[in-house]
Amino acid sequence: MCKLIDDAASIGCGHVQPSVGEESEIRWIQRACDHAAERGVRLCPQLHDKTLHDTVANCKQLFDTVNRENFGLNFEASHLILQESKPRGGEALRVLSDKVFTICVQNYRKAEGSSVAVLPGDPEGVNFGEIFDVAREIGFDGFVTHMSGSYPDLDNLTVCKSYVAALRSLMR
């Protein structure tokens, strides 16, 4: 991970997105954070199921355990929907706000035994209007990234255009 951090720093990338899947990885993340801090890099795993950063409560616990100023979160709301975890949406962003370094926008809804990628505006997916309202409320001024799922009936350009149109209207 130190090589990745060094490479990121060398090109001016201020964020690296590791994952913490097990408690045994925490000491390595702490070391990576220390290495990254010397280079002005922050580590921010994505809120994601099957990790130690999969719910709001678990994220807060991990922040306390890692205990590094440059360790935070890439907030991603759809995994909270898929896990039926609460709080979610804007309230989750509000609770985690002091450690949200970046926001990832992707959209899924729960399906029978699985999940389905949906476009912005799907009533069972993420309410991006709420996310952006809370982001403004908390003074978020970081990067917003888009990560898209697989849409069998749509080409990538159509998906991207849909996200750009939806998100552009929210960035006021």
Q: Cα separation of 120 and 167, whole Å? A: 8
Kindly report the CA angle at 75 between 95 and 127, in degrees rounded to 5? 85
Q: Look up the domain containing 102 and give its range.
A: 2-170
Q: Is 126 exposed, middle or buried (0-12, 13-18, 19+ CB in 10 A)?
A: buried
Q: What is the pTM of this model?
A: 0.92
Instruction: Provide, rounded to the nearest whole percent, the portion of the chain with pLDDT above 70.
Output: 99
30-43 confidence digits (pLDDT tens): 999 999 999 999 99
Q: Cα separation of 49 and 26, whole Å? A: 17
81-115 confidence digits (pLDDT tens): 998 889 999 999 999 999 999 999 999 999 888 88
Q: Cα separation of 118 and 124, whole Å? A: 9
Structure tokens at 118: 């949906």
47-82 confidence digits (pLDDT tens): 998 999 999 999 999 999 999 999 999 999 999 999
Q: How many domains does the chain have?
A: 1
Q: Cα separation of 130 and 167, whole Å? A: 12
* Residue 118: CATH number of its domain: 3.20.20.150
